[in-house]
Amino acid sequence: MDWYDTVFELIDLRSFSNLWFWIVLAVLWSSTSHWVMGVPYDMVARARRNGGQAAQDLEDLVRINTNRLLFIAEESGLWVVAIGSAFLSGVAILGFYPGYWIEFAQAVFLLAFPMTLVGLLSVRSARLIREGEGEGEALWRRLRIHRMLTQLIGMVSIFVTALWGMYMNLTVLPF
């Protein structure tokens, strides 16, 4: 086997038959559900359990991340939505339009689209935190709801991606 075959086998663009794609999918959703609003979820549990300085640290970190996220949304939100929509539309067309049917674009879409939903959920949660759910039990509840919804999006995403990946592996012949 020559060098080019080795490299292209490692960087296989047939994503759904590649172990690296599934590792990326698992790491993406694991880290997304662990880092809630930019805060590790174990910090939320520690703040609930211990209170005091742990709760104050959590509130400060959530306040900082909330203000940062809302600043980005207010200042450049229109551009982020426009560029993100153009990117997702382009990848969806390249991946799912019958004339193109590029498997790598399908894989990118199946990773990126649910993450945009998580991003929108984060902006919504940040707004609710700023409007009065930024302390104590209300903050812990908001972060718990945000994490559960993120995990729900992740479960549906992984399920749909696994079904689509199995379909592609069973029906599409390799190039």
What pLDDT, on the 0 to 100 scale, is given for residue 2? 78
- Domain presence at residue 114: yes
Paired tokens of 21: 């794609």
Question: What whole-number distance in Å separates Cα of residue 15 and Cα of residue 144?
Answer: 33
Question: What whole-number distance in Å separates Cα of residue 112 and Cα of residue 24?
Answer: 12
Question: What whole-number distance in Å separates Cα of residue 64 and Cα of residue 58?
Answer: 10
- Domain presence at residue 79: yes
- Domain presence at residue 22: no
Q: What pLDDT digit, counting tens, does each position of 4-40 carry?
A: 777 766 666 578 888 889 999 999 999 999 999 999 9
- Domain presence at residue 16: no
- Domain presence at residue 147: yes
Range of the domain at 149: 68-175
Q: Is pLDDT larger for residue 63 or for residue 17?
A: 63
Q: What is the mean pLDDT of residues 40-65?
A: 94
| Residue 35: φ, ψ to 5° | -95, 95
Number of domains, the chain: 1
- Domain presence at residue 52: no
State the Rg of the chain over Cα. Answer: 20
- Domain presence at residue 12: no
Percentage of the chain exceeding pLDDT 90: 80
| Residue 40: φ, ψ to 5° | -65, 135
- Domain presence at residue 129: yes
Q: What pLDDT digit, counting tens, does each position of 89-129 carry?
A: 999 999 999 989 999 999 999 999 999 999 999 999 999 99
